[in-house]
Structure 1
Amino acid sequence: MVERWKWFLIRISKRPWFRASLFSVLGVATALLALAVAPYIPDDVPTKIGSDAVDNILGVLASSMLAVTTFSLSIMVAAYGSATSNVTPRAISLLVEDPTTQNTLSTFIGSFIFSLVGIIALSTGLYGAEGRVVLFAATIAVVILVVYALLRWIDQLSGLGRVAETTARVERAATRALCQRMEQPYLGGCPLEVDPRALPGARPLYADKVGFVQHIDMPALGGLTRSEQHSIYICVLPGIFVEPTQPIAWSIGIDEQCDDTLRDAFVIGAQRTFDRDPRFGITVMAEIASRALSPAINDQGTAIDVIGRGVRVLSHLSRPSPPEEPKFDRVFAPGLSVADMLNDFFTPIARDGAAVVEVGMGLQQALASLARLGDAAISVAARRQAELALKRAETALTLPEDHQRVRQAAIDAGFAG
């Protein structure tokens, strides 16, 4: 259950309102800090510091931060719309969760709240001469923070919503999720090597919602299998679509009264997420390439760029990882399918780019790179995808010369004779 709450806290912390609220509370606390610190300020300090200027500074800060925040929000909305049209709607969540953008907007909002609370407190006479000195020092610190945020925001705007920048974000998210999975290929459990339906005493557990599996609370499942007579066999992984007639797990020796606890370990939502689902990142990258190859956009360069990024991500499948010591030796989970990963990425691109000779050649070269990594499963899956890509290209291409170029690329890659 702790792991489940940790998951929810991580998801909430990535929402824009969370940091904005946190910075707003911090702004109020900073403005009121002067009341607590004022008694410790020497009496002669207010005469040496022009603390009366704080009224004007707070006024300028309040009016400017409100305008900058409104303007920044309009830029964000425009960037999200551009990314939706030119990249893919599935990548918008990465833009919304960007920490730099959230920190910048939260700084603007927090500064506005700080200025507003400071002006109200000054108007009511809560601050004495010493309090004004503390407020003045805090205002200078806030101004420095705002300037730093503005400089970062200017740099951020240069790539916000652009195709290359959004694609790079998707690549980083897919790489991070895949590397995490490679460190724990069975989510901390043991590999599922048998069909649980054939095990004596196995009882299915059905989902009570319709949606995608977003997270699996392995510690909660492990807590139910402390006895040697208890075991759980997970049938789904994060990213799999489930519904009430589909078993999500099978249990042996666990009482039916624990079924609700078992179901609570599977977080099911309406959408897939990048965090625990490496196949989703690969799928979104393929969507970007497919959209670039559509007649409305007709951007083969982006498709070829995405193919290269896909090779970088999928190459992590071949990296040897240290043997995993199962944390939950009575919980069994399936591993990633290399064939499915390559199919998720290459099939849409090969289908939508079949009539583009440059894409056909790029696919053969990319699959050859993966096949040379030395992993047997990757080599078999890469060869299969190369053969399918060649068939699609030869069906869609009209010129014999284009046929020959793609086939020659397949021959050079070792996929055709």
Structure 2
Amino acid sequence: MTRWQWLIRLLTRRMWFRAALVSAFGVALALASALVGHTISYQFAATIGAKSVDGILTILASSMLAVTTFSLTTMVSAYSGATSTITPRAVQLLIDDSTAQNTLATFLGSFLFAIVGIIALSTGLYGETGRVILLVGTIAVILFIVITLLRWIEHIARFGRVSDTIDRVERAAMAAVDTIAVPLTLSTAPPLPDARGITPVLPKTMARVTHVDVAVLGRLAQAIDVDIHVLALPGKLVEPERPIALIAGGCDKAAVDKVRQAFTLSHHRTFDHDPRFGLVVLSEIASRALSPAVNDPGTAIAVIEASARVMLRLADHRTSEDAPLPARVHVPAIGMAELLDDWCRPIARDGAAIVEVGIRLQKALAAVARHAEPFRPLIEQAAFDAAERAKAGLASERDRSVIEHMYHGHFAARNR
């Protein structure tokens, strides 16, 4: 995905974008009746009885304003609830929800359609024949509102709930896995070129990398005959003293600036192209559920299972053959050790005193280890750490023996 495609994607996900688009369509539909009204005969307009459109538009305008306000209040309440009871990092997924945005856009667009129609009717813009077109448009808008309301009623029953948020984060992490063009490896230390003839590309501020335009880097590498080594993947925190890329070969300041512009930086981390962030947010949800104030191990177990599915997708991930990386652009791999730390360590730490969480974590790690055999040593190390934390946190000797039995049954017994 190029930088411009990425920026357009971000724009279309903004809440105001769909609302503005549907509102403009509503205004255009209301004014179009005056332009095509002359195609309707006066006798047909009198037969239809289009004068009733005045009262319909008045009812529509008053009701849509109330429904829009109510829907917006409901959405803000869901955002506030997710921030205080789940994790603030997941709120962006609720804000990007397409159903909620379409609902708000429909109600606001219908309100503007009714307002513009009432104003135009009061000025006599439509005439007797134009009212027919306005009536047909009003009926179409009402049908669209009814369909949207039915979808919104079904959607609002689970919008912002813990299970719904977990599913959203899992889907975002899965989508990020499918879009990344880098392999999975045991270590994240990339092979760096010889220090001679290397030009570092330094960022101008401290921020998070949210997108790397690899296509631009590939064209630039071919144009100036150099190799470009990317050091900062999406999600990485960069600073002005540490390079985000290295250029192997002769280049000028303009080329360095072009390489720097291929990296999109933001103050906040995003889910796109960053599967580690999805695992981090899932672990935060589990940590919040395991806090003494909440004490909800069931949510932590649901998070463990969702994270395990993401890890299985990561283990199956291969670089795309349809869109391979440019030949002279070198991108580092994602390290399994960092993924396991993002997923397991917070849950093992905060759920050490709950035996059910420890059991489920051992089973999930064993499932990932069976599916990703090359990474078994790292997964076994994470399982050992989780078992040790659980044995230190559990008060019952029987619970400690259960955790130890789970670990030895899935991991240690295979090494004998």
Tell me the TM-score normalised to structure 2 length: 0.95
Q: Extract unaligned runs of 5+ from structure 2.
A: none
2:319 & 2:86 partners in 1: Cα distance?
Answer: 36
Residue 272 of structure 1 aligns with an amino acid whose one-letter code is R
Q: Do the aligned partners of 1:186 and 1:332 also contact (CA within 8 Å) in 2? A: no
Q: What residue number does 2:326 align with?
A: 328
Give the deviation of 1:193 after TM superposition. Answer: 4.9
Question: Structure 2 vs 1, CA of residues 12 and 278 (structure 1 numbering), >3 Å: closer, same or farther?
Answer: same
Per-residue deviation, residues 141-172 of structure 1 (Å, max 9, x unmatched): 00000111111111111011111111111111
Compare 358-367 and 224-233 and name the one that shifted more: 224-233
- Which residue among 408, 412, 415 is the counterpart of 2:412? 415
Q: Do the aligned partners of 2:190 and 2:333 also contact (CA within 8 Å) in 1? A: no
- The answer as to 2:15 corresponding to 1:16 is yes
Q: What residue number does 2:77 align with?
A: 78
1:361 & 1:141 partners in 2: Cα distance?
Answer: 56
- The answer as to 2:114 corresponding to 1:118 is no
> 5 Å matches for 1:209-228?
209-227=205-223
- Which residue among 261, 266, 279 is the counterpart of 1:264? 261
Q: What residue number does 2:165 align with?
A: 166
1:132 & 1:228 partners in 2: Cα distance?
Answer: 64
Q: Do the aligned partners of 2:64 and 2:111 also contact (CA within 8 Å) in 1? A: yes
Q: What residue number does 1:303 align with?
A: 300
Give the deviation of 1:318 after TM superposition. Answer: 2.4
> 5 Å matches for 1:178-189?
178-181=177-180, 184-185=181-182
Residue 263 of structure 1 aligns with an amino acid whose one-letter code is R
Aligned residues: 409
Question: Structure 2 vs 1, CA of residues 206 and 54 (structure 1 numbering), >3 Å: closer, same or farther?
Answer: same
Q: Do the aligned partners of 2:183 and 2:317 also contact (CA within 8 Å) in 1? A: no
> 5 Å matches for 1:10-409?
10-181=9-180, 184-185=181-182, 193-196=190-193, 198-227=194-223, 229-252=225-248, 253-319=250-316, 321=318, 324=321, 326-377=324-375, 379-409=376-406
Q: Do the aligned partners of 1:318 and 1:375 also contact (CA within 8 Å) in 2? A: no
Question: Structure 2 vs 1, CA of residues 24 and 348 (structure 1 numbering), >3 Å: closer, same or farther?
Answer: same
Give the deviation of 1:254 after TM superposition. Answer: 2.3
Helix, strand or coil for the counterpart of 1:328? Answer: coil
Helix, strand or coil for the counterpart of 2:205? Answer: coil
Q: Do the aligned partners of 1:236 and 1:249 also contact (CA within 8 Å) in 2? A: yes
Question: Structure 2 vs 1, CA of residues 186 and 321 (structure 1 numbering), >3 Å: closer, same or farther?
Answer: closer
2:306 & 2:398 partners in 1: Cα distance?
Answer: 28
Per-residue deviation, residues 210-260 of structure 1 (Å, max 9, x unmatched): 110000111221121115831110001000001101110000222222222
Compare 238-247 and 38-47 and name the one that shifted more: 38-47
Helix, strand or coil for the counterpart of 2:208? Answer: strand
Give the deviation of 1:374 after TM superposition. Answer: 4.0
Compare 322-331 and 41-50 and name the one that shifted more: 322-331
1:415 & 1:177 partners in 2: Cα distance?
Answer: 33
Tell me the TM-score normalised to structure 1 length: 0.94
Residue 346 of structure 1 aligns with an amino acid whose one-letter code is C
Residue 235 of structure 2 aligns with an amino acid whose one-letter code is G
Q: Percent identity?
A: 46
